[in-house]
Amino acid sequence: MKLDSNNHSVFLMHYHLVLVVKYRRQVFDRKIADFAKDMFDEIGSKYNISLVEWNHDKDHVHILFKAHPNSELSKFINAYKSASSRLIKRDFPHIRKKLWKEMFWSRSFCLLTTGGVPIDTIKKYIENQGQK
């Protein structure tokens, strides 16, 4: 197990985030999921957050990511949801028709620390979510 570090500390902070599309609309395909994943990487880098594993179903995504102790997780999640909602609806007109005035994501989300569970176990769980 490799620990992350900064000038004065070492840490290993993994989180499992589940985001659901508003009204559970079944809009995710490979192209939209890849777009959303790339946005997660881009926005996450500004918050010291790095993607470990990503998987999606038609109406939600499972994300495993690492963060630094100084990462403001709620601000990051809100920034990500807001920006990705706007850009997905801009770049995918068929989504805009399904969620006309609505945000892309549901207001709620599920954020879990991985606790003592080995990261490989969480990765396998997230991988298996996309196979259902």
State the CATH number of the domain containing residue 79. Answer: 3.30.70.1290
Enter the DSSP assignment of 23. Answer: G
- Give the C-alpha separation, 58 to 24, whole Å: 9
In this predicted structure, what is the pLDDT of residue 41? 97
CB atoms under 10 Å from CB of 39, counted, come to: 15
Residue located via tokens 């920034």 = 79
Q: What is the pTM of this model?
A: 0.85
- Enclosing domain of residue 35: 4-129
Residue located via tokens 């918050």 = 47
What are the tens digits of pLDDT across the range 95-126? 877 776 678 999 999 999 987 676 788 878 88
In this predicted structure, what is the pLDDT of residue 52? 93
- Give the C-alpha separation, 51 to 82, whole Å: 18
* Helix pair angle (73-91, 30-45), 10° resolution: 140
Our count of domains for the chain comes to 1
User: For the residues 61-84, what does the mean pLDDT come to?
Assistant: 95
